[in-house]
Amino acid sequence: MITIMIADDNIEQANQLAYMLTQEKDLKIINLSHDGNIALKQYLDIHTDVLILDLNMPGINGITLLEKISTYDTKRNVIILSGSTIYRAQISNISKVEMIYSKPFDISKLINSIREIKPNENTIEVKIDNILKELKFDSCSKGTKLLKSAILISYKEPQLKLDNILEKVKDINNEKNARTVHSIIDKYLNFIYSSKENFDIFCKKFSSYYGYKPTTKNFIKYIAHLL
């Protein structure tokens, strides 16, 4: 089953597209968003296999949305559907874009493109999920979400200092400031440490590398190192 999110400010067209796609047994619509800011939050929360994206939306436009999720997510899984040519020139350098279709489009070609983007069980995001799951992190918590963002950024840009990583996490997740992000991650790690079972698992995983409970910075860097 291929999960799909549609982000398009034209509600009628988005609903019609969702209906057509759900006639295919192997396709499942998980979310419809009509505002760029909401679409960004929903994508980061749900993380569907495919994102079908309009470029001209209220809130943030499709280009800005692509730039933000490209920092968080490495998979090439976005299909652009747009009648606008304003932003087209900026798309070529964004690696997440799999295909671009002008409106109106051929639904059969779109479906074929969607099926070419198959779920990948070996992506970096999945590897991060598996490590955090092993360490008993709650996949639904805000702390885990921010931590995953930080780990992926550290993996992609290992030269970055913690302050720069947290600043990027803030921008991607629309947090107020980097200090808030740092505080949430710190508190969440301390919560994980507070359980003896979790802490024993944690120490076994890290003792050979650090020999002590790592700081937030060391935790992020070490998980990125494991990938």
Mean pLDDT of 54-58: 89
Residue 162: is its pLDDT beyond 90? yes
Mean pLDDT of 18-41: 91
Domain edge (last residue) among 92, 116, 140: 116
The total of structural domains in the chain comes to 2
- Is 24 exposed, middle or buried, given 0-12, 13-18 or 19+ CB atoms closer than 10 A? middle
Q: Do 168 and 100 have their domain in common?
A: no
Residue 193: which CATH number?
1.10.10.10
C-alpha 73/C-alpha 123 separation (Å) is: 9
pLDDT in tens, 102-159: 888 899 999 999 998 876 555 777 788 888 888 788 888 889 989 988 998 898 888 9
Which residue is listed with tokens 């002590």? Answer: 212
Q: Do 98 and 14 have their domain in common?
A: yes
Q: Do 8 and 80 have their domain in common?
A: yes
Let me know: does 3 contact 45? Beta carbons within 8 Å.
no
Q: Do 141 and 96 have their domain in common?
A: no
Q: Do 26 and 94 have their domain in common?
A: yes
Let me know: does 45 contact 145? Beta carbons within 8 Å.
yes
Q: Do 112 and 8 have their domain in common?
A: yes
84: confidence class by pLDDT, cuts 50, 70, 90: low
Reported pTM: 0.64
Percent of the chain with pLDDT over 90: 32
Domain edge (last residue) among 116, 140, 167: 116
Mean pLDDT of 45-56: 87
Residue 76: is its pLDDT beyond 80? yes
C-alpha 85/C-alpha 37 separation (Å) is: 21
Q: Do 77 and 17 have their domain in common?
A: yes
What pLDDT was estimated at residue 39? Answer: 92
- Is 213 exposed, middle or buried, given 0-12, 13-18 or 19+ CB atoms closer than 10 A? middle
Residue 58 belongs to what domain range?
Answer: 2-116
Region of residue 194 (phi > 0: left; psi between -120 and 50: alpha; otherwise: beta): alpha
C-alpha of 50 from chain center: 11
Q: Do 108 and 141 have their domain in common?
A: no
Q: Do 102 and 11 have their domain in common?
A: yes
Q: Do 9 and 96 have their domain in common?
A: yes
Q: Which of 57, 55, 139, 70 is nearest to 103 (CA)?
A: 55
Q: Do 78 and 32 have their domain in common?
A: yes
Q: Which residue has the higher pLDDT, 18 or 48?
A: 18
Start-to-end CA distance of the chain, whole Å, equals: 26
Convert the chain into a string of H (helix), E (strand) and C (coil): CEEEEEECCCHHHHHHHHHHHCCCCCEEEEEEECCHHHHHHHHHHHCCCEEEECCCCCCCCHHHHHHHHHHHCCCCCEEEEECCCCCHHHHCCCCCEEEEEECCCCHHHHHHHHHHCCCCCCCHHHHHHHHHHHCCCCCCCHHHHHHHHHHHHHHHCCCCCHHHHHHHHHHHHCCCCHHHHHHHHHHHHHHHHHCHHHHHHHHHHHCCCCCCCCCHHHHHHHHHHHC
Q: Do 145 and 85 have their domain in common?
A: no
Residue 56: is its pLDDT beyond 80? yes
Q: Which residue has the higher pLDDT, 8 or 119?
A: 8
Domain edge (last residue) among 68, 98, 116: 116
Residue 16: which CATH number?
3.40.50.2300
